[in-house]
Amino acid sequence: MQDSTALPVLQVLTVNRLTPHEDHDPRRVQRLSRRILEEGYLKNPPVVAPLPDSTSGQEGEENRRYVVLDGSNRVLAFAMAGIPHIVAQVVSYDDPGVILDTWYHIVSGMALDDFEQALTQLAGMQLETCTLEQARRSLETDEALAYIICESGVRLVRSPQGAKRDLRTLNGLVDAYRGKADIFRASNDIWEIQKPYYPKITALVVFPRLKPADILHAAMNDYKVPSGITRHVIPARALNINIPIGILMADWPIERKREWLDEWWMERMAANAIRYYAESTFSFNE
């Protein structure tokens, strides 16, 4: 523990005060809800950040709303299961260690012609052939909505005529292929790196880098970022907390559950059960 700069902040929060910032897959939420009830534990807490100006009056902290940065499906699964409270890791965008990065989409199992027709005819996008360097520059300067890479080359994706680039046009782009193809996440835009791992790859879709203000604005105005494009890097991430679901489902006031969590925390410390790993980690059981 001497190498850890700070312990994670874990709090018992009311589920209906947590607002996901991204779209979700209802089927996945349903499966996760069943699994959580069957296993009886919350293994990994969602990560949340307080929304600005979300408290008022005498309710104070109890009236605070949070945006879910990671773990939206877990939060929605708790809501579906009727579990009123959840343990969440609370962070802040003001912490320089909290980094908002972007995932790219590997679109797989869809014919390229069908993919491009979905973009141009259904979503109204405009495709323009270019080089990879031109695509990267256009995305950085907000001249394009995104770009795609496929076997035959690179294409800029421009918004429908007259539409500005925002989260709604990004949703329109993703909606063109969501449900019609398998979608995987990628962290780079190099076709030669991705193709060997995805034999049925159709295209690699590269999105612009979002800002924390985009996430907060979406949560406060009740619209969503496309699923699977935001990537939050969280320092001192809390994993494997294994909180019993029975505690979170209990008909107790939230103050009592918070007291229970404080006692649990001290027991973990006394048992020397908390480990800090500074190394970058690959998980093979997500």
Question: pLDDT of the chain along its 286 residues, tens only?
Answer: 455 567 899 999 999 999 999 887 788 899 999 999 999 999 999 999 999 875 544 455 677 999 999 999 999 999 999 999 999 999 999 999 999 999 999 999 999 999 999 999 988 999 999 999 999 999 999 999 999 999 999 999 999 877 788 888 999 999 999 889 999 999 999 999 999 999 999 999 999 999 999 999 989 988 889 888 999 999 889 999 999 999 999 999 999 999 999 999 999 999 999 988 888 888 787 6
Query: Rounded to the nearest 10 degrees, what angle do helices 26-39 and 72-81 cross at?
Result: 70
* Statement to judge: residues 85 and 116 lie in one domain: no
212 in any annotated domain: no
- 211: in domain: no
Domain with residue 148: its CATH number is 3.30.1760.10
Angle at 152 between CA 150 and CA 155, to 5 degrees: 60
Statement to judge: residues 37 and 86 lie in one domain: yes
Q: In this structure, are strands 201-206 and 146-150 parallel, antiparallel, or unpaired? A: antiparallel
Instruction: Give the pair of three-digit tokens for residue 233.
Output: 């890097």
108/96 same-domain check: no
200 shares a domain with 144: yes
State whether 72 and 134 are in the same domain.
no
Last residue of a domain, one of 190, 206, 222: 206
Alpha-carbon gap, residue 265 to 20, rounded angstroms: 27
41 and 124 co-located in one domain:
no
Whether 187 and 157 share a structural domain: yes
Whether the CB-CB separation of 127 and 146 falls below 8 Å is answered with: no
- Structural domains counted in the chain: 2
User: Residue 275 falls within a domain, yes or no?
Assistant: no
SS3 content of the chain, % helix, strand, coil (to 5): 35, 25, 40
Q: What are phi and psi of 268, to 5 degrees?
A: -65, -40
Identify the sign of the CA torsion 11, 37, 26, 282: positive
Q: Which structural domain range is residue 265 located in?
A: 10-100+232-270
CA distance 42 to 36: 7
Q: Which residue has the tokens 């991204």?
A: 22
Any bridge partners for residue 126, and if so which? Answer: 158
Question: Could you tell me if residue 214 is inside a domain?
Answer: no
